[in-house]
Amino acid sequence: MAAGERRASLALARRAAGPVLWLAGLFVPVLLGGSWVSIMAIFAIYAVVALSQDIVLGRAGMYDMGHAVPFGVGAYVTAILNTTFHWPILATWPVAIVVAAVIGAALAAPIVKLRGDYLLVATIGFNIIFVLAMGNDVLGLTGGPDGIFGVGVPHVLGRALSSQGALFYLDWLVLALVLLMMRNLERSRVGRVFRYLKEDELAATTLGVDARYYKILAFAIGAGLAGAAGTLFAVQLASVSPGSFVFTESVTLFAIVLVGGQASIPGVLLGTALMFVVPQVFRGLAQYRYFVFGIAMVLVMVLRPQGIWPRGRGRP
């Protein structure tokens, strides 16, 4: 009985841990303030991107090493519509999501039949093309190597979210929504099908799964969420430039999922924190960020190939 109660309270603690941590995050602007507000805002944005990478990589099992592309598409769509066409930021948001998702699906369509490493190389190619295109001022809209400056802030109910604190709350709210969606994904057909395809595509297809459709869908959903984060990113930096979406950014996102734990929400959040928050704490050592993360990647892959915080077992 005591053991049962302990197990029940442990399960409760695990369920409550996420919401409690999220609520605690709400006090960051009040209690910590200063640079911590923007650090946590960046964390929230990259957590959304990493979770969206996890849909494609950790769940559907496709080696997408070009995930900075949809993230960048979302950021550029918002920046262009806002600075050149003077759309309000919030109006650019759905466009950023849809354009990123459509581009994600269109790029995925010809390559989803590729396996593992071949798909990975193809996605690297897309990333290089994207950065080159943005850097070359496509259609005179993307601003060349320096990118686009002067992206505005969102207005909610007539009030400008101009302070770092206000933007943080927006990012934090979006993170919560995306986390809810990721949780829902676990309990839905689409989320399960992604994992069936990762584990055994042939078995899944003989059960009636249209592998091609679901693989493209995984890319589209992942890209749409990354695009949503792109809007927040453009607003956070008030600018966009090709340098934020280069191949190494994709590698970082890829590594966050592998090191944190594939298809594990806490794992991916932990990976994001290790990559984007911890280096800020040790400011003097920030230049060693990739060095430390590189070593961590090697160690995790050798010692704990399922990631630091692997996925728990399936629901009973």
Q: Which stretch binds another protein (CB under 8 A): 95-103, 157-165, 180-188, 276-284?
A: 180-188
On whether the CB atoms of residues 248 and 67 are closer than 8 A, the answer is no
Contact pattern for another protein over residues 206 through 225, marking x by CB under 8 A: xxxxxx-----x---x----
CB burial readout 74-88, b (16+ within 10 A) else e: bbbbbbbbbbeeebe
Contacts (CB under 8 A) with another protein, residues 121-150: none
Binder among 200, 282, 295, 301 for another protein (CB under 8 A): 200
Smaller CB separation from another protein, 143 or 227: 227
Residues pairing with 240 in the sheet: 148
Should residue 98 be labelled a site residue for another protein when binding is judged by CB under 8 A?
no
Residue 6 binding another protein, by CB under 8 A:
no
Considering the complex, state which of residue 119 and residue 204 has its C-beta at the smaller distance from another protein. Answer: 204
Report how far residue 166's alpha carbon sits from residue 226's, in angstroms, rounded to the nearest whole number.
21
> Which residue's entry shows tokens 């900075």?
68
Coil, strand or helix at 26: coil
- Using the rule CB under 8 A, is 80 a contact of another protein? no
Q: Is 191 in the site for another protein (CB under 8 A)?
A: yes
Tally of CB atoms within 10 A around 179:
18
4 in contact with another protein (CB under 8 A): no
Closer CB to another protein, 190 or 273, in the complex: 190
Q: Are 87 and 79 in contact, with CB atoms under 8 Å apart? A: no
**Binding residue for another protein (CB under 8 A) from 8, 163, 173, 199?**
199
- β-pairing verdict for 148-149 and 239-240: antiparallel
Q: From the CB of residue 97, how many other CB atoms can be counted at a distance below 10 Å?
A: 23
Q: Which residue, 170 or 182, is less far from another protein as judged by CB? A: 182
State the sign of the Cα–Cα–Cα–Cα dihedral 242, 176, 89, 218. Answer: positive
Number of residues that bind another protein (CB under 8 A): 32
Report the relative pairing of strands 155-156 and 148-149 from DSSP bridges: unpaired
Could you tell me the two tokens for 197?
């395809």
Q: Please give the full DSSP string across 54-85, using - where no structure is assigned.
A: HIIIIIS------THHHHHHHHHHHHHHHHTS
CB of 97 to another protein, least distance (A): 12
Q: Give the per-residue contact string, 257-276, with another protein (x = CB under 8 A; - = no).
A: --------------------
Measured from the CB atom, the residue of 73 and 178 that comes closer to another protein is: 178
**Which parts of this chain interact with another protein (CB under 8 A)?**
180-181, 184-185, 187-193, 195-196, 199-200, 202-211, 217, 221, 311, 313-316
